[in-house]
Amino acid sequence: MIAQPSAKYPAFAPIRLKDRTWPDKVIDKAPRWLSSDLRDGNQALIEPMNIEQKLRMFDLLIECGFKEIEVAFPSASDTEFTFVRRLIEENRIPEDVTIQVLTQSREDLIVRTFEALKGCKQAIVHVYNATSPTFRRVVFNKTKEEVIALAEYGVSLLVKEAAKYPETDWTFEYSPEIFSDTEVDFAVEVCEAVMKIANPTPEKPIIFNLPATVEVATPNVYADQIEYFCRNISRRDSVIVSIHTHNDRGCAVAATELALMAGGDRVEGCLFGHGERTGNVDIITVALNMYTQGVDPELNFSQINKVVREVEHCTAIKVHPRHPYAGELVFTAFSGSHQDAIRKGLSDMKNQPDQMWKIPYLPVDPHDLGRSYEAVIRVNSQSGKGGIAYLLEEDHGINMPRRLQIEFSRTVQAEADAKGIEVTSPMIFDLFNREYLTKGNVVIGQPISIVEDENGNTEISAVITTATQQYHAKGHGNGPIAALVNALNETLKIDVDVVSYHEHARSQGSKAEAVAFVEMQVESRTLFGVAIHANTARASIDAVISALNRAIAKGWVEVK
């Protein structure tokens, strides 16, 4: 990198618009949307879509609710031309959908464009020419007057050709290319000249598309340019201002949103931001940003996984796992504190389902996009106890007491660390099973006799088998657990005690079971035992044995 970038890169001059009003505006309704996936998006693919992919993309766009779709540059190639013909001849365009096509301002191209559209019920023909100073000087060597004349020429050809096909309801669109880099007064001047020829009315407006063909400044500058244009173009009620941003500085979504606040009526873009270089604006993000502010975007992304799949198929480009709203990881929390907050938010929502959506770290309900909560909490070595506890509870009906959550999270983290991988919900259950529910050396046999007198004193007797011996154990206490612990201490000559006991019911399918958790003190340390059994008393007894076996396995206590 050079030491003085200012010697190479001039800063973009701000627009002189002191009384701008857009910063106080909010987006409170959906704009008109135009998908350019089959034109701007397609032209930027390494391998442009074949007909099968184009038809699939077209159907997807209709399913998502687009009413205006730029389908081709029909004079550019036979594939493009044929595709438009197929849409029309095979009656694939729904009544309420208008297709749009692009052409340069050249007679042969415009004539061919109208031929492609023959028989279409309604269509938008989009003509563009370059207006920005760099293009005028470097690319085309044209004066401002020549640029205006080329725009007028193109639009007068649109008017002339359209007259030959009166069965079609025509709309014209004109783009001063690289509007974002064109003197804004000059952009207005060119559009005024075009307007004189097209002669739009409020009933039959012209679309002025104002492209940030290249994003050259911060989004507020584009918003100023749009507000300036909207305030200075005449016959504003006969003009639809279309916003068309590219993402060179990574701000296309922001630029589009500010431009809507500044007066834009319509948004052109592509699904997942496909398009030249860094792409066009991602329409999905703009639409769902509206949705999460309580505004109906009038587009349907309720099956976002299907949209991802279809777009990946048609473009042969993968959607990034962190792509807003749609990426595989965007509803996923790995960090313990995030998981904890989400877990609390979800359970708060469950308890008060009528409240407005407010879940920490989740700006949108995954269900609204056809995603589940399954992937929300995922566990790796960075995760804390909250996520692990959530998955065990949600997927396996095991609601661990807090101190057990801390204890078990060490086992899971050790596994994640050792293997360097994500630990999935089935893996967590497997670890839990291995750690707490698998039989150890000490086994308590059936039958177990538990006799309780009228004062609540309990006597327990059972056969206890260790690795080397079998004992007939007997113990007394103020409940089965205390009686068993006393029996173990006396029979096995150990010194263990119960610190806490929890249990809850768990239903898995048609089975109802009890899950028992016993926290035991062994020497000066504590650890948990867990058991699941159809019989609650048996679950509590097995949980004590589970804790004892774990203590033996750790070498905290020795049993003959």
215 interface partner picked from ligand KIV, Zn ion, none, CB below 5 to 8 A per type: none
Q: Toward Zn ion, which CB reaches closer, 40 or 310?
A: 40
Q: Does 215 bind Zn ion (CB under 5 A)?
A: no
**Which residues lie closer than 8 Å to 519 by C-beta, 6 or more apart?**
401, 403, 404, 498, 499, 500, 501, 526, 527, 528, 547
Omega of the bond leading into 447 within 30 degrees of 0 (cis): yes
DSSP 484-496: HHHHHHHHHT--E
Q: What share of the chain is helix, strand, coil (3-state, %, to 5)?
A: 40, 20, 35
Q: Toward ligand KIV, which CB reaches closer, 281 or 531?
A: 281
Q: Does 128 bind ligand KIV (CB under 6 A)?
A: yes
Q: Does 180 bind ligand KIV (CB under 6 A)?
A: no
**Which residues lie closer than 8 Å to 367 by C-beta, 6 or more apart?**
373
Q: Does 225 bind ligand KIV (CB under 6 A)?
A: no
Minimum distance between the CB of residue 190 and Zn ion, rounded to whole angstroms?
18
- The answer on whether 313 is annotated among ligand-binding residues is no
**Segment interacting with ligand KIV (CB under 6 A) among 7-15, 205-213, 349-357, 374-382:** 205-213
Q: Toward ligand KIV, which CB reaches closer, 42 or 339?
A: 42
- Single-letter amino acid, residue 125: V
With contact defined as beta carbons under 8 Å apart, do 326 and 319 qualify?
Answer: yes
Minimum distance between the CB of residue 260 and Zn ion, rounded to whole angstroms?
17
Q: Toward Zn ion, which CB reaches closer, 247 or 413?
A: 247
Minimum distance between the CB of residue 3 and ligand KIV, rounded to whole angstroms?
33
Q: Toward ligand KIV, which CB reaches closer, 176 or 440?
A: 176
Kindly report each contact of residues 484-490 with a partner whose C-beta sits within 8 Å and lies 24 or more positions away, as own/partner.
Answer: 484/460, 484/541, 484/544, 485/520, 485/544, 487/460, 487/461, 487/462, 488/464, 488/544, 488/548
Residues found in the chain: 560
**Segment interacting with ligand KIV (CB under 6 A) among 50-58, 143-151, 206-214, 364-372:** 206-214
Cα 542 from Cα 501, distance rounded (Å) = 12
Q: Does 132 bind ligand KIV (CB under 6 A)?
A: no
DSSP 283-349: HHHHHHHHHTTT---S---TTHHHHHHHHHHHH--PPPTTSTTTSTTTT-B-SHHHHHHHHHHHHHH
Q: Toward Zn ion, which CB reaches closer, 40 or 542?
A: 40
- The answer on whether 476 is annotated among ligand-binding residues is no
Minimum distance between the CB of residue 126 and ligand KIV, rounded to whole angstroms?
7
DSSP helix/strand/coil, 253: helix
Q: What burial letters (b/e) apply to 459-474, b meaning 16+ CB within 10 Å?
A: bbebebebeeeebebe
Q: Toward Zn ion, which CB reaches closer, 40 or 513?
A: 40
**Which residues lie closer than 8 Å to 85 by C-beta, 6 or more apart?**
116
Half-sphere exposure of 175 (CA within 13 A, CB side): 25
Taking CB under 6 A as the criterion, the residue among 35, 129, 213, 332 binding ligand KIV is 213
Q: Does 40 bind Zn ion (CB under 5 A)?
A: yes
Minimum distance between the CB of residue 279 and ligand KIV, rounded to whole angstroms?
11
Q: Find tokens 């309990």 and name the residue.
A: 458
Please count the residues of this chain forming the interface with ligand KIV, following the rule CB under 6 A: 10
With contact defined as beta carbons under 8 Å apart, do 60 and 310 qualify?
Answer: yes
Spatial CA neighbour of 271 closest among 99, 79, 42: 42
Q: Does 209 bind ligand KIV (CB under 6 A)?
A: yes
Q: Toward Zn ion, which CB reaches closer, 102 or 307?
A: 102
CA distances from 219 to 12, 15, 72, 323, 521 (A): 12, 12, 29, 20, 63
Taking CB under 6 A as the criterion, the residue among 177, 215, 224, 340 binding ligand KIV is 177
Q: Toward Zn ion, which CB reaches closer, 212 or 552?
A: 212
Minimum distance between the CB of residue 435 and ligand KIV, rounded to whole angstroms?
59
DSSP helix/strand/coil, 541: helix
Site for ligand KIV, residues 98 to 117, rule: CB under 6 A:
102
**Segment interacting with ligand KIV (CB under 6 A) among 146-154, 208-216, 479-487, 525-533:** 208-216
Minimum distance between the CB of residue 51 and ligand KIV, rounded to whole angstroms?
22
- The answer on whether 320 is annotated among ligand-binding residues is no
- The answer on whether 246 is annotated among ligand-binding residues is yes
Taking CB under 6 A as the criterion, the residue among 105, 113, 129, 175 binding ligand KIV is 175
Q: Toward ligand KIV, which CB reaches closer, 40 or 161?
A: 40
**Segment interacting with ligand KIV (CB under 6 A) among 62-70, 144-152, 209-217, 539-547:** 209-217
Minimum distance between the CB of residue 390 and ligand KIV, rounded to whole angstroms?
45
Distance of CA 289 to the CA centre of its chain: 11
Q: How many CB atoms lie within 10 A of CB 518?
A: 29
Residues at the contact surface with Zn ion, assessed by CB under 5 A: 40
Residues at the contact surface with ligand KIV, assessed by CB under 6 A: 40, 102, 128, 175, 177, 209, 211, 213, 244, 246
Tell me the binding residues for Mg(2+): 40, 244, 246, 280
